[in-house]
Chain A
Amino acid sequence: MSFHPKMIYDATFHKSTRTLAEEGAPFVYTPDHRARLVEILGRYPPTQKRSAVLPALYLAQQQDGYITASAMRHVAEILEITPADVEDVVSYYTMFYTKPVGRFVLNVCRTLSCALNGAERVTEAICDHLSIEPGQTDSSGTFTLCEVECLGACDRAPVIMVNDAWHECASPDDIGRLLDDLRTRGEAAVTGCHHVIEARSTGR
C-alpha cells in the first residue's frame, strides 16, 4: 500500500551503505607501534587482550592513514580474536576510516548547539572553497570534509575537529584563511581548545 509515496524506506538507510574495507598492502606494525601496543596490553587482564582493540586500531590507522583488511587481520592475530571481530568494531566506530582520507580531516560538528550558531554555514563555506560535498576529499588529497555529531564543546560553537586538534568558534568568513593556514602551517593553524588558550594567555 502506498501509504507514503514519497518515502524510500530501504536504499537510503545510512547503516546499509557501508562497504567492505580494501585489502591493502601486507600489514605489520612498525617496531615502535608494536612496542606501544605491548605496553597498552599490560593495562588489561592477560585473558582480556581483546580490550586493546581500539588502541590497536588507532595505531594501525596512525601508520597507514586508514584501516585495511590486512591491518585488521594483523590486529586480530595479535589480540587472539577473529578478523570478523575486528571488522565488527571497525565498522561500528566513526573514528576509523576504511578508505584513504586527506591529510586533514575536517570534522564539522552539526548537532544542535553548533547548528544554532551557524555550523551549516561553516560546512557550506568549506564545500564552496574546496568544491566538495561532506564525505568527500578534495582533488589535491589535502582535505576531507565530514559532518560529525556533538563534539562536546557546545560553548565554543561551531567546532571543527581537524584530525585530533580542535578549531573552535569557527565562522564561515574565516574558513578561507583556515584552509590556507592548514596548507602552509599544518595543525598549528587551528585555534585549539579555548581552555588551553586561556591558560596560555595567563602564562601557562
Chain B
Amino acid sequence: MEPLLTAHVREPNSFTLEAFLRHGGYEGLRKALTMTPDEVIEVVKASGLRGRGGAGFPTGMKWQFVDKKSPKSRYIACNADESEPGTFKDHVLMERNPHLLLEGCAIGCFAIGAKVAYIYIRGEFFHVQQVLEGAIAEAYAAGYLGQNVLGSGFSCDIYVHRGAGAYEAGEETALLESLEGKRAQPRNKPPFPAVVGLYGCPTAVNNVETLSNVPLIVKNGAEWYAALGPEKNGGPKLYCVSGHVRRPGVYEASMNVTLRELVEGYAGGVREGRTLKAVIPGGSSVPILLPDQLDTRASFDDVQKAGSLLGSAGIVVLDDTTCMVWLAENLLHFYRHESCGKCTPCREGTDWLYKILRRIDRGEGHMRDLDLLGSVSSQIAGKTLCAFGDAAVTPVVTTLKHFRHEYEAHILEGRCPLVAPWRASQPVRA
C-alpha cells in the first residue's frame, strides 16, 4: 500500500499549509461541511476506523455516544500525549503533517457539534508544539478554522495544551483531569467522557493518528477505506519499529502486513551476527511474541489472536543480547515512576515488583520470589481504575511465562548471566 498519512512527510516544507493544499488538503473538511453531522458519523462508522491510541475502539461509535441532547458544550480532546515506550508515530504526523490532524479535529468537531478542540500534547514535544501552533495560525488565517469556516456557518477553535511530563495523562480521563488543571489521575468509569468529560461536558477523546485518518475517510468514502486492510482492520496504519533493528523508524502499511515484513523488511532485521529473541508488538504494555509468531498479521484482531495486542503499534525488537529479567526490571522502573498513585494496588505494587526484579537481576533473589512476582501481579491486574495496572504487570507476567529459565539462572548463579555490551560498564550505574 502506498503511504497515505505519511506520503509527503519527507518533502521540504511538508508542514506548511501551501504543501498540504497542494496534496489535496482540507478537501475532506470541505466535503464534510456539505453533509450533516450525522452523515459524517455514519461514514466514519461504516469505514470501521478503530482508535489508534491503543484500545482499537471504533471511532464512529465513540462519536455517536457523545450526548447530543445535553444542553452543555461539547468538546474534542485530541490525545497527543504519546508516551507509551516504543511509540513515536504521532510525533512524525504532528511535526510533518500537522494540517491533516487539524482537518481531522475540525471534522470531528463538526460531527459531534463541538466548538472547541484541545490538542493535549506531551510537555517534552516542545518542538512539535511550535510546528502545530504555526499550522493553527496558518489555518485560521486561511479560514479553515475560527468563525464561519469556509463560509459554512460552522465555527471551530483548536488550541494546543502542553502537558508537563506524565505518562498517565495519556489515559483518556486522566487527560481530561490534566486539561482541567489537576493531577493527571484517572476517573471512575462510567460515566464515560462521551457523557461526562471535560468540565463535565460530553467529550470525545481521540488519538492523533485516529483523527488524521478521518479526512481520508470523508474524502474517499467508507468502502475505499475499509478495503485498504483486512476485515474490521481497514485503513492505513503507522508502525513504529525500534530496538535492535538496522533501520528503526515509522513505517506506514495496511494491516495486511505481517510482523515479519515490518521487522525484517521495512526495518532491515536485527543487526549483523545477532539473532531475534522476541518482539513486543504494541508498546511496552503488551505481551511479548516469540520469533515463531512473526508471520502474524499486524492487525488488531490477528495480534490479539496470537496472544498479544497491537496497542499503539510500537514494535520493540529484542535480539539475543537482551536479558529478559533486565527487560522486566527496566519496564517496571518506568511503570513504578509513572504510576499516578491513585489506586493502592498499582502505586504500591509496581514499587514491590520493581524491587523484587532488581534483587533478582543483581543475583540476590530466591526461588520463592518467582511465585511472589506472580502473586503481586495478580493483586494489581484488574484491580485498578484504569488499564495502567494491567499494563504494568504485563512485562513481568509475559517474561515469566516465556523466559522463566532466565529468572532461575539469575537465582541459581547469583548474578545476571547475560550482561549485554550496551549495558553500563559499572554495575552500580546499571
- Contacts A113-B316, A116-B422, A161-B124 known; A54 to B162 CB distance under 8 Å? yes
Closest to B319 in A: A116
User: Are A153 and B244 interface neighbours, CB within 8 A?
Assistant: no
User: Are B166 and A94 interface neighbours, CB within 8 A?
Assistant: yes
Q: Which residues of B contact A81 (CB under 8 A)?
A: 181
Q: Which residues of B contact A4 (CB under 8 A)?
A: 372
Closest to A50 in B: B181
Q: Is B292 an interface residue (CB 8 A)?
A: no
Task: Pick the contact of B162: A15, A55, A92 (CB < 8 A).
Answer: A55
Whole-angstrom distance between the alpha carbons of A186 and B57 in the complex?
Answer: 45
User: Are A153 and B91 interface neighbours, CB within 8 A?
Assistant: yes
Q: Is B189 an interface residue (CB 8 A)?
A: no
Q: Which residues of B contact A116 (CB under 8 A)?
A: 243-244, 316, 318, 322, 422
Closest to A88 in B: B183
Interface 1/0 per residue, A87-121 and B, CB below 8 Å: 01100111110000000000000111101111011
- Contacts A89-B181, A93-B123 known; A121 to B250 CB distance under 8 Å? no
Q: Is B414 an interface residue (CB 8 A)?
A: no
Interface 1/0 per residue, B125-158 and A, CB below 8 Å: 1110000000000000000000000000000010
Q: Is B26 an interface residue (CB 8 A)?
A: no
Whole-angstrom distance between the alpha carbons of A54 and B169 in the complex?
Answer: 13
Q: Which residues of A contact B372 (CB under 8 A)?
A: 4
Q: Is B254 an interface residue (CB 8 A)?
A: no
Q: Which of B169-193 contact A (CB under 8 A)?
A: 178-184
User: Are B88 and A112 interface neighbours, CB within 8 A?
Assistant: no
Closest to A55 in B: B162
Q: Which of B382-430 contact A (CB under 8 A)?
A: 422-426, 429-430
Q: Is B87 an interface residue (CB 8 A)?
A: yes
Whole-angstrom distance between the alpha carbons of A52 and B10 in the complex?
Answer: 35
User: Are B164 and A54 interface neighbours, CB within 8 A?
Assistant: yes
Closest to A192 in B: B127
Q: Is B163 an interface residue (CB 8 A)?
A: yes
Q: Which of A119-157 contact B (CB under 8 A)?
A: 120-121, 123-124, 127, 148-157
Q: How many A-B residue pairs have CB under 8 A?
A: 191
Task: Pick the contact of B330: A6, A92, A111, A154 (CB < 8 A).
Answer: A111
Q: Is B96 an interface residue (CB 8 A)?
A: yes
Whole-angstrom distance between the alpha carbons of A204 and B9 in the complex?
Answer: 12
Closest to B163 in A: A54
User: Are B166 and A93 interface neighbours, CB within 8 A?
Assistant: yes
Q: Is A30 an interface residue (CB 8 A)?
A: no
User: Are B92 and A195 interface neighbours, CB within 8 A?
Assistant: yes
Whole-angstrom distance between the alpha carbons of A196 and B94 in the complex?
Answer: 12
Interface 1/0 per residue, B211-244 and A, CB below 8 Å: 0000000000000000000000000000011111
Whole-angstrom distance between the alpha carbons of A43 and B162 in the complex?
Answer: 13
Q: Which residues of B contact A127 (CB under 8 A)?
A: 429
- Contacts A93-B164, A155-B248 known; A14 to B86 CB distance under 8 Å? no
User: Are A155 and B88 interface neighbours, CB within 8 A?
Assistant: yes
Whole-angstrom distance between the alpha carbons of A55 and B157 in the complex?
Answer: 18
User: Are B87 and A152 interface neighbours, CB within 8 A?
Assistant: yes
Task: Identify the stretch in B44-52, B61-69, B256-264, B333-341 within 8 Å (CB) of chain A at 4 or more residues.
Answer: B333-341
Q: Could you list some 19 contacts between A and B, CB below 8 A?
A: A13-B351, A14-B336, A14-B351, A15-B347, A55-B162, A94-B164, A94-B165, A115-B330, A117-B243, A120-B429, A121-B424, A148-B165, A149-B85, A151-B124, A157-B242, A193-B127, A195-B96, A196-B127, A202-B11
Going nearest first, the 5 A-B pairs with the smallest beta carbon separation are: A50-B181, A154-B242, A93-B164, A94-B165, A120-B424
Residues of A within 8 A of B (CB): 4, 6-7, 9, 13-15, 43, 45, 48, 50-55, 57-58, 79, 81, 85, 88-89, 92-96, 110-113, 115-118, 120-121, 123-124, 127, 148-157, 161, 164-166, 192-193, 195-196, 198-199, 202-204
